[in-house]
Structure 1
Amino acid sequence: MKHTLKKAALILVLFLGGCSSITFIYNQFDNLFPWYLQSYVDLDRDQKKYLDELLTPFFQWHRVEEMPKYAQIIGDLELAINDEVDIESITLITYNVEESWFRLEDQMIMWATPLARELSDDQITKFIQVLKTKTTQSEKKLLVRNDQVYQSDSYKSLRKNLRRFMGSLTKDQLDLVKITSKEMKRVDAERIQSRKAFNEKLSLILQREQGWEERLKKITHSDDLVDENYQSTYTFNTDLIQHLLVAILNSRNDKQDQRLRTQLARYKADINSLAN
C-alpha cells in the first residue's frame, strides 16, 4: 500500500517548497503536527502536554538521523545528472526514498504507542470513526472519476512535480508526460480497499488486548493488507514513472539544468543547516 510519489512528497516536503519555506515549515512542524493529530482525536490538557513531551525525542531523532539521509538522496541525484542518467540510478534513489518512509513510519508508530495507552475507550472509538469517515470521503472523491479524468489528474500531477524542479517543460517533454499518464494503470480502487483493511486491523489492535503494542508496531509491515494486484499495479506504475524521469532528465535544456541544479543545491544546503 505504498505509493512512491505520495511518499516522496511527504518525506521530501521539507525541500520541495524552496529554501526559505523549508526552515519555516520544519521549525513549525512540532506545532502543526499536534494540531493535525487533534483533527482525529480530542486530547485533554494532560494528554496535550504528554504529546509535546513525546515529540521532543521524535524530532531529535529526525534531525540527527534522517535529515542527513535526505541530503544524501539529493547528493545522489546531483551526481546522477552529471552524466547521462540511467534507470539504475533513479531506481536506487526511489528505493532510498521508500526506505526513508519506512523508517519514518516505524518511528511514528513507536512514538504514538505511549500516547495510545493514555487514550480512553471513547477517544479510541472516535479516532477510528474519523479514520473510516476520511476513507469514505476519499472513496467518493476518487472512484467517481472515469478513466479520462483519472488520466488527466495523473498528467497534471506529474507535470506539476516536474515543473517544480525544472520549470517549464518543452512540448516533447510534455508529450512524454502525457504518454506516461495514459499508460498508467488505475490503482485507486485497490488503494481504498487497502486503506479499509488497515482501518479494520487497527480497530482490532486498539481494543488494546494483551500484546496489542507489539501488533501495533508491526502494522505498517503487514503484507496481508496489500492485495497482489494492487502491488503489481503499483510496481508497474512506479517503473513507468522512473523511466519518464530518466527521459525528462536526459532531455533537459540548459535553462532547465540550471534551475534543477540550483533547486537541489538550495534544498541540500537548507537540510544540512536544519540537521546541524
Structure 2
Amino acid sequence: MTMCHWIEPSRRVSTAAEALLEWHRREELPAYVVLLDDALTILDEGVPLEDARAMTDRIEDAAIRFQDPFLELLLSTGQDLTPEQKQQFVDNLMSKQEEFEEDRLARSDSEYREDLEERFDKQLSRYLGPLTAEQTDRVTAGVAEMTRLDRFWLEDRRFWIADLSVFLLEAEPDWPDQVRALIAGRDDALLPAYREGIDHNGEVILQLSRDVLIARTDKQDRKLRNRLQSLRDDLAALADARR
C-alpha cells in the first residue's frame, strides 16, 4: 500500500470524526446544559416521580441520538480495515466475550448482588459523597428486587458478535448496510424475558435512585448541586466556544 493510499482513507475518517464532534458540540452540548438545569430544578421540587422518570427518558434519548452518527463513524473506519485487521477485531471481541463469561457467570447470586451494590455505592457516592446507613439499606433493598440479567446479556452479545463477524469477514459490498440493519433490529430480537427484565430493573433503579436522593443530607445536597452546576457550566462553556 502506497503512502497516498493510506493518507486518503485516514483523511476521510478524520473528516468524519471532526463532523461528529462538531455536530455533538453544536446540537447536543446545549441540550445537556438544559438537561442539567432541569435536574437542578427537580432537586428544588423534591424529586417528583414523574419528573424523575421523564429525566431518565431524556437521558436515554440523548444516548440514542448519539448512536447513529457514531455508528457511521465506526463504519467509515471499518471500510479502511484490511482483512487481517477485521479478523483481529473479531478475535478481540470473542476474547473479551469469553473473559466476560468466565468472570461473570461464575458468580453466585449473592456475589452478583454484592457487585451491583458496590457499583451503585460507587456511582452515587461520586455525586453525593459517602452514603448514610439509610441510603445504603435502600440500595440493598433495591438490588434484592432486581432480576439477574448477566446470562441474558452475554447470550445476546455472543449472538450479536457472531452475526457481526459474518458481515465483516465475508465483506459483501453492502456489509455496512447489513451492520446497520443488525443494529436497528437488535432490540426487537431480544428474548421477551430479557426485555421484561430490562424494563423491570429500569424501574427499580429509578425508584432506588429517587429514594436515595430524597434522603440526602444537607452536606450531600451541597456536594450534588456543586457537581451538577460545575458540569453544567463546563458544558455551557464548551458549547459557547464553538459559536
TM-score, normalized by length of structure 1? Answer: 0.79
**1:251 deviation in Å?**
1.5
**1:180 deviation in Å?**
0.9
Gaps of 5+ in 1: 1-43
Output the CA distance in 1 between the equivalents of 2:54 and 2:134. 26
**1:268 deviation in Å?**
0.3
2:180 to 217, 234, 241: 217
Deviation digits for residues 70-94 of structure 1 (CA, Å, limit 9, x no counterpart): 2222122111111121221121111
- Work out whether residues 47 and 214 of structure 2, in 8 Å CA contact, stay in contact via their aligned partners in 1: yes
Output the CA distance in 1 between the equivalents of 2:21 and 2:107. 39
Deviation digits for residues 13-71 of structure 1 (CA, Å, limit 9, x no counterpart): xxxxxxxxxxxxxxxxxxxxxxxxxxxxxxx9645555333321111111111122222
1:244 to 190, 208, 211: 208
Output the CA distance in 1 between the equivalents of 2:156 and 2:38. 32
**1:230 deviation in Å?**
1.2
**1:270 deviation in Å?**
0.4
Any idea what SS the aligned residue of 1:164 has?
helix
- Work out whether residues 105 and 151 of structure 2, in 8 Å CA contact, stay in contact via their aligned partners in 1: yes
2:119 to 133, 143, 157: 157
**Two-structure CA RMSD over aligned residues (Å):** 1.8
> Could you tell me which residue of structure 2 aligns to residue 58 of structure 1?
20
Deviation digits for residues 194-248 of structure 1 (CA, Å, limit 9, x no counterpart): 1111112212222332432223223322234422211111111110110012211
Output the CA distance in 1 between the equivalents of 2:28 and 2:222. 27
Output the CA distance in 2 between the equivalents of 1:109 and 1:218. 12
> Could you tell me which residue of structure 2 aligns to residue 199 of structure 1?
161
- Work out whether residues 180 and 240 of structure 1, in 8 Å CA contact, stay in contact via their aligned partners in 2: yes
Query: How does 1:74-93 map onto structure 2 within 5 Å?
Result: 74-93=36-55
Output the CA distance in 1 between the equivalents of 2:84 and 2:12. 19
Larger Rg: 2
**1:258 deviation in Å?**
1.2
Output the CA distance in 2 between the equivalents of 1:132 and 1:198. 11
TM-score, normalized by length of structure 2? Answer: 0.89
Output the CA distance in 2 between the equivalents of 1:154 and 1:190. 16
- Work out whether residues 13 and 73 of structure 2, in 8 Å CA contact, stay in contact via their aligned partners in 1: no
- Which AA in structure 1 matches 2:124? L
Output the CA distance in 2 between the equivalents of 1:247 and 1:63. 33
Output the CA distance in 1 between the equivalents of 2:235 and 2:198. 30
- Which AA in structure 2 matches 1:246? R
- Which AA in structure 1 matches 2:138? L
- Which AA in structure 2 matches 1:76? D
Deviation digits for residues 93-115 of structure 1 (CA, Å, limit 9, x no counterpart): 11111111112221111112222
> Could you tell me which residue of structure 2 aligns to residue 114 of structure 1?
76
> Could you tell me which residue of structure 1 aligns to residue 219 of structure 2?
255
Output the CA distance in 1 between the equivalents of 2:181 and 2:28. 21
